[in-house]
């Protein structure tokens, strides 16, 4: 009888998920560490919450989701209760605050971690992605919202994004609600119509002003031929919305004057304009002028729990990719005020505001700009094994380097020396240590600068090239001077 072939599992990955290699993980950690310093400078502290939450605690705030498990990864647990992977870090924060009523107010926290959404995967769009939030809970002062804008500016600049290459755009949902009241003849529009109008406004960047007009009215056919039904507003109502979207002013204060006229007698609209004025005063007093933070009537933010100021940080430049196509990164920061989120649990209003970084998108921008180290190596030094009988000596070398706070790796494979140096190259090492029996008897080691050849092959200026050519690519050092010699080579590259 023929032997049955063993069944093997096919390696495969869930749709919309990805594996992240060492270079990107380390680059993300470096970016997060830089942002964390900015958050902590403002007094925010760390918090961690579970990845899984009860669905009713998360709430239903994702746009265009009409059932408990729509837009999120959800399942019934052993008690037949809906649980889900968190879709953001704000809803779990609200649950945490409700469960801990004795927290100091305002409670200020930051959190970084993966979130999950059942969205259509695409280039740069995944179902698991990282966010890095900061929030202030327990204050309704517009100083907190102004501070959010300041933190966003400081974080982007700390990462090397220069002024002029980013903008923090600010708006207020109350102003938007005032516009909705205006087109409703002084009354609130039906909630579903109002949400559709806001979603339409939020599509301005994608469909343009003419596309928004069509979607506010009877509907729009896109380039593929698909028809999207519109909000069925009248021509006069559409005119009011388009006038709002087209509002401009030379300064933030000027634009507030324009918006005040647009919302007319709407009490909620005028309240929103007043909040924008307060934020403007705070920003101006702290030196964050119109070149860094602007008021932009088109900013909506998609999540439905925002109740007041909303803001987003956008990169305002584009880069040309390898195919010659201009690529824009757009929004990398977003947030706003959500005064009713904790109230769902306690029945009492607990004001809160905060913002979140789209970690993956911002990291992609920094990589494209060359503003972050994407080296995949943790250890800059490789101690090779030329003679396997000298393993004890090699262990002593690597131990000395580590004791001197130098990340060093001992080659633990069984390959010849040429393969060991290939491994060093593949893993981004800067220094290679070589010592055989002859070197050991002479009390010496050979130190190889692994970056020098790479640097010399680059198109560099005469001064830089001359300097590099004066550095020995390989030299002999006393065994007792191993640490100092390695530091000398690492110092050439700021490692």
118's tokens: 């059942």
Which value, to the nearest 10 degrees, does the dihedral of the CA atoms of residues 18, 19, 23, 26 take?
90
Range with lowest mean pLDDT among 12-21, 80-89, 325-334, 338-347: 325-334
Task: Say how far apart CA 197 and CA 232 lie, in whole Å.
Answer: 10
Average pLDDT in the chain: 88
Q: State yes or no: pLDDT of 283 exceeds 90.
A: yes
State residue 92's pLDDT score. Answer: 96
Structural element, H or E, at residue 288: none
pLDDT band (50, 70, 90) for residue 468: very low
Q: State yes or no: pLDDT of 403 exceeds 90.
A: yes
pLDDT band (50, 70, 90) for residue 70: low
CATH class, domain 161-338, is alpha beta
Q: State yes or no: pLDDT of 64 exceeds 50.
A: no
pLDDT band (50, 70, 90) for residue 303: low
Q: State yes or no: pLDDT of 278 exceeds 90.
A: yes
- Among 61, 47, 144, which Cα is nearest to 97's? 47
State residue 5's pLDDT score. Answer: 78
State residue 61's pLDDT score. Answer: 59
State residue 493's pLDDT score. Answer: 85
Task: Say how far apart CA 119 and CA 100 lie, in whole Å.
Answer: 33
CB 367 within 8 A of CB 375: no
Tell me which fold the domain 16-140+351-364 belongs to: BirA Bifunctional Protein; domain 2 (3.30.930)
Q: What is the pLDDT of residues 78-110, one digit of tens each?
A: 999 999 999 999 999 999 999 999 999 999 999
State residue 34's pLDDT score. Answer: 97
- Among 484, 388, 367, 486, which Cα is nearest to 437's? 388
Q: What is the pLDDT of residues 206-228, one digit of tens each?
A: 888 888 888 888 888 877 778 88
Q: What are phi and psi of 408, to 5 degrees?
A: -135, 145
Task: Say how far apart CA 362 and CA 331 lie, in whole Å.
Answer: 9
Topology match between the domains 161-338 and 381-492: no
pLDDT band (50, 70, 90) for residue 376: confident
Q: What is the mean pLDDT of residues 363-384?
A: 89
Positions of E strands within 66-207? 74-76, 82-85, 107-116, 128-137, 166-172
Alpha helices in 184-307 (DSSP H): 191-201, 204-216, 235-245, 252-263, 267-285
State residue 6's pLDDT score. Answer: 80
Q: What is the pLDDT of residues 379-395, one digit of tens each?
A: 899 999 999 999 999 99
Pairing between strand 293-295 and 166-172? parallel
| Residue 128, CA distances (Å) to 27, 51, 119, 136 in order | 18, 11, 10, 25
State residue 464's pLDDT score. Answer: 46
Place of tokens 């070197």: 439
Q: What is the pLDDT of residues 26-46, one digit of tens each?
A: 999 999 999 999 999 999 999
pLDDT band (50, 70, 90) for residue 136: very high
Q: What is the DSSP letter of 34?
A: H
* Helices then strands, each counted (H, E), the chain: 18, 18
State residue 188's pLDDT score. Answer: 67
Q: Which residues are CB-neighbours of 362 under 8 A, at least 6 positions away?
A: 31, 159, 329, 332, 333
Break the chain into its structural domains and give their ranges: 16-140+351-364, 161-338, 381-492
State residue 467's pLDDT score. Answer: 43
What is 86-98 written as a DSSP string? -S-SHHHHHHHHH
> Percent of the chain scored above 90 by pLDDT?
61
Cβ burial, residue 412 (10 Å; 0-12/13-18/19+): exposed
pLDDT band (50, 70, 90) for residue 472: low
State residue 68's pLDDT score. Answer: 47
Task: Say how far apart CA 400 and CA 435 lie, in whole Å.
Answer: 15
Range with lowest mean pLDDT among 99-113, 388-402, 411-425, 447-461: 447-461
Task: Say how far apart CA 470 and CA 337 lie, in whole Å.
Answer: 58
Instruction: Give 381-492's CATH code, choosing from 3.40.50.920, 3.40.50.800, 3.40.50.300, 1.10.268.10.
Output: 3.40.50.800
What does the buried/exposed string (b/e) look like for 215-242 if buried means 16 or more CB atoms within 10 Å of the residue's CB?
bbbeebeeeeeeeeebbebeeebbebbe
Q: What is the pLDDT of residues 171-210, one digit of tens each?
A: 999 999 899 888 877 666 677 777 888 888 888 888 888 8
Q: What is the mean pLDDT of residues 446-458?
A: 74
Q: What is the pLDDT of residues 236-274, one digit of tens each?
A: 888 888 888 888 999 999 999 999 999 988 999 999 999
State residue 60's pLDDT score. Answer: 65
State residue 477's pLDDT score. Answer: 93
Q: Is the pTM of this model over 0.75?
A: yes
Q: State yes or no: pLDDT of 130 exceeds 70.
A: yes
State residue 202's pLDDT score. Answer: 82
């Amino acid at each position: 009888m023929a032997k049955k072939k063993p069944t093997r599992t096919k390696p495969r990955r869930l749709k919309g998920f990805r594996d992240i290699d060492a270079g990107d993980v380390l680059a993300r950690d470096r970016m997060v560490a830089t942002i964390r310093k900015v958050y902590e400078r403002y007094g925010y502290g760390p918090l961690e919450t579970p990845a899984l939450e009860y669905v009713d605690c998360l709430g239903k705030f994702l746009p265009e989701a009409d059932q408990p498990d729509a837009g999120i990864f959800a399942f019934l647990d052993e008690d037949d209760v809906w649980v889900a992977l968190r879709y953001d870090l704000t809803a779990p924060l609200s649950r945490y605050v409700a469960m801990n009523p004795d927290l100091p107010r305002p409670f200020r926290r930051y959190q970084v971690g993966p979130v999950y959404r059942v969205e259509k995967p695409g280039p740069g769009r995944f179902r698991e992605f990282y966010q890095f939030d900061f929030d202030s809970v327990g204050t309704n002062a517009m100083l907190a919202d102004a501070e959010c804008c300041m933190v966003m500016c400081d974080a982007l600049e700390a990462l090397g994004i220069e002024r002029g290459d980013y903008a923090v755009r600010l708006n207020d949902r109350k102003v938007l609600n005032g516009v909705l009241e205006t087109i409703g003849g002084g009354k609130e529009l039906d909630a579903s119509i109002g949400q559709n109008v806001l979603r339409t406004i939020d599509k301005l960047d994608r469909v343009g002003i003419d596309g928004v007009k069509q979607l506010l009215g009877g509907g729009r056919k896109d380039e593929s031929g698909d028809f999207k039904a519109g909000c069925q507003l009248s021509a006069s109502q559409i005119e009011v919305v388009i006038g709002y979207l087209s509002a401009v002013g030379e300064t933030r204060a000027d634009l507030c004057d324009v918006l005040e006229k647009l919302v007319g007698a709407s009490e909620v609209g005028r309240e929103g304009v007043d909040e924008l004025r307060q934020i403007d005063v705070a920003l101006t007093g702290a030196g964050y002028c119109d070149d860094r933070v602007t008021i932009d009537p088109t900013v909506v933010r998609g999540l439905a729990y925002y109740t007041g100021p909303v803001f987003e940080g956008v990169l305002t430049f584009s880069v040309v990719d390898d195919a010659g196509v201009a690529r824009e990164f757009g929004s990398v920061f977003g947030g706003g005020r959500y005064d009713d989120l904790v109230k769902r649990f306690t029945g009492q209003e607990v004001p809160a505001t905060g913002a979140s970084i789209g970690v993956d998108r911002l990291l992609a921008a920094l990589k494209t700009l060359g503003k972050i180290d994407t080296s995949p190596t943790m250890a800059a030094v490789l101690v090779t094994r030329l003679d396997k009988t000298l393993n004890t000596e090699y262990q002593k070398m690597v131990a000395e380097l580590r004791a001197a706070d130098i990340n060093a790796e001992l080659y633990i494979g069984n390959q010849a020396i040429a393969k060991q140096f290939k491994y060093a190259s593949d893993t981004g090492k800067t220094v290679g240590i070589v010592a055989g029996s002859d070197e050991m008897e002479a009390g010496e080691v050979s130190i190889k600068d692994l970056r020098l050849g790479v640097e010399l092959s680059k198109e560099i200026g005469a001064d830089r090239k001359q300097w590099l050519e004066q550095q020995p690519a390989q030299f002999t050092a006393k065994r007792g001077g191993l640490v100092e010699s390695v530091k000398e080579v690492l110092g050439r590259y700021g490692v």
